[in-house]
Amino acid sequence: MILDHLANSARYESLHPLFPAAFAHLRELAANKNLGEGRIEFDGDRLHAMIARGTGKPEGQARMETHRRYIDIQYTLEGCDLIGWLPVTECEGAEGYNETKDLEFYANMPATCWLKVKAGHFAVFHPSDAHAPMANTGQPIVKIVVKVAV
């Protein structure tokens, strides 16, 4: 798991062959204040983004999730996203992997830490990182999630 400001993203580009393109696309999207919602294609199944708008939910209602085929780069464009984190090895109550959505939910809540991902910041979650996004005290959140093929 990585947490940093988008201005520092070049520090992490050497960690994965698709990260330079992923962060370049993220910087371009972040500069556009008129983004709609939904999926944006960059490189087919290897690299794409999703724009999400929503209202944060209480920590106890945020669902722990993991992905097997993608690394998430979750960037907060507006608001503050509170994201729970827990190593996948400590997750319990797996609800079954959905291969189509590359998504598995877990029954337990993160006990390790909660990350404040403020506007202008990003968090990177690998398949070994369970995370519970979109938590806060009912405040609006606009975020960009770049999906990078493992």
CA-to-CA distance for 84 and 129, rounded, in angstroms? 10
For residue 57, what are the CA distances in angstroms to 8, 73, 133?
29, 20, 9
Mean pLDDT of 25-37: 92
Output the pLDDT for position 111.
62
Name the residue ranges covered by the structural domains of the chain: 2-149
Span 41-51, pLDDT tens digits: 999 899 999 99
CA-to-CA distance for 73 and 51, rounded, in angstroms? 12
Confidence tier at 23 by pLDDT (50, 70, 90): very high
For residue 131, what are the CA distances in angstroms to 1, 28, 52, 73, 138?
10, 25, 16, 12, 18
pLDDT at 108 over 80: no
Output the pLDDT for position 80.
96
**Can you give the pTM of this predicted structure?**
0.94
Mean pLDDT of 110-133: 93
pLDDT at 97 over 70: yes
May I ask the CATH class of domain 2-149? Answer: mainly beta
